[in-house]
Amino acid sequence: DSGVTQTPKHLITATGQRVTLRCSPRSGDLSVYWYQQSLDQGLQFLIQYYNGEERAKGNILERFSAQQFPDLHSELNLSSLELGDSALYFCASSVGGRDYEQYFGPGTRLTVT
Amino acid sequence: AQKITQTQPGMFVQEKEAVTLDCTYDTSDPSYGLFWYKQPSSGEMIFLIYQGSYDQQNATEGRYSLNFQKARKSANLVISASQLGDSAMYFCAMREDQGAQKLVFGQGTRLTINP
């Protein structure tokens, strides 16, 4: 158990819908990262938050957005869902800074039908 | 730009043998970190080992060691005395220390341990 929690574990929804994925980082970790794992794209970085502020953006679509709340949990919002958004979405957390590992949550498996 | 290459899509090893999973990387950043993660069939990503670019010694964590050859830009994972539970996907990843602290992952190697 990495200490990072993600809910829900599985999500099945239809095209055009909107979903919210939730992540709670390990106690004491200030940084939260979101990654997407799909069969064709592999594991890709989406976005990072540090202590409530957006720190870096990766290959995140405009239909996707995220935020980190004062209690440090984070939410990833996916809207106007397409079949290609079906993937495993991971949240990872770290203390922050270059010398710290990123610990991954169990992931949310999103299926868009 | 950062790039990680894992050239072995799949590997089959007998139980109790040692196995080396290959990873090469490319970066222009002089300071970076290299990571290995294990992903069993259940899907979670398990952190295994970390090597910093300025670390003088190769990292070790139990049965895992990282064979870091900076000049060759390689960071191979060595698993000693393999066990059936080691069967999984293994991902090599890199983080550049300048800019975003994101991880860039390779395509992974599927390791199968045979009894």
**pLDDT tens, chain A, 113 aa long:** 889 999 999 999 999 999 999 999 999 899 999 999 998 889 999 999 999 999 999 989 999 999 999 999 999 999 999 999 999 999 999 987 666 788 999 999 999 99
CB B53 within 8 A of CB B33: yes
Structure tokens at A90: 């991971």
User: Exposed, middle or buried, B8 (CB in 10 Å: 0-12/13-18/19+)?
Assistant: middle
Q: Which of A76, A52, A49 is nearest to A64 (CA)?
A: A76
Quickly state the pLDDT bin for B31 (edges 50, 70, 90): confident
Lowest mean pLDDT among A65-74, A92-101, B7-16, B40-49: A92-101
Q: Using CA atoms, how far apart are residues A108 and B88, in angstroms rounded to an integer? A: 19
Q: Do A104 and B44 touch (CB under 8 A)?
A: yes
- Residue A50: its H or E element: strand A42-50
Residue of chain A whose alpha carbon sits nearest to that of B92: A43
Q: Do A101 and B97 touch (CB under 8 A)?
A: no
